[in-house]
Amino acid sequence: MKEKVQAIFGKPAKNISPGGTFLTVHIIPVCERKLIAFDVLAPEAKGRWFPWTVLTFGTEPYEAAANLVDDWCNGSVKRLELCDVLTFKSYEEAWQISLVFRSELTKIPQGDAERKPLVFEKEIPQVIDKFKAADIQRWMNLKDSKTNQMIF
């Protein structure tokens, strides 16, 4: 039988360690019932993504989420709320704990040279980043959630 070990974090590090644990913040941008994802053109992260970052040690998750909306979505936030917490096995068997925020935007982001916004009105791709269409659809449809009352 495999030995059970507790999820106890070590000291902050500059890089993700094999078998370690790290926290990420992800934003699910929605504008007038349209899902916004980004086509990232940078060679080191090429693909379709939602705004995300590895949480810096000691940073409040809502602050990190607000900074992501400012950076990726031109700060056009109407509402920001925590909508889910998911875990994944990630890089080199590290355990990724993802705090997922839904951001209602006031306008479609402009993007930049390395990030082009993609707007999905009806059909949602089967997967964006690590997230499945069923989860994305559930997050898009959240209204007056009580999860935004969570305290970290």
Where is average pLDDT lowest: 1-15, 17-31, 52-66, 68-82?
1-15
Q: What is the mean pLDDT of the chain?
A: 86
3-state secondary structure the chain: CCCCCCCCCCCCCCCCCCCCEEEEEEEEEEECCEEEEEEECCHHHCEEECCEEECCCCCCHHHHHHHHHHHHHCCCEEEEEEEEEEEEECHHHCEEEEEEEEEEECCCCCCCCCEEEEEECCCCCCEECCEEHHHHHHHHCCCCCCHHHCCC
Is the confidence at residue 135, as pLDDT, over 80? yes
The confidence band for 143, taking pLDDT boundaries of 50, 70 and 90, is: low
Please give the pLDDT value at position 6.
67
Please give the pLDDT value at position 17.
79
Tell me: the pLDDT tens digits for 56-94?
Answer: 888 999 999 999 999 999 988 999 999 999 998 887 788
Percent of the chain, pLDDT > 90? 53
Is the confidence at residue 128, as pLDDT, over 80? yes
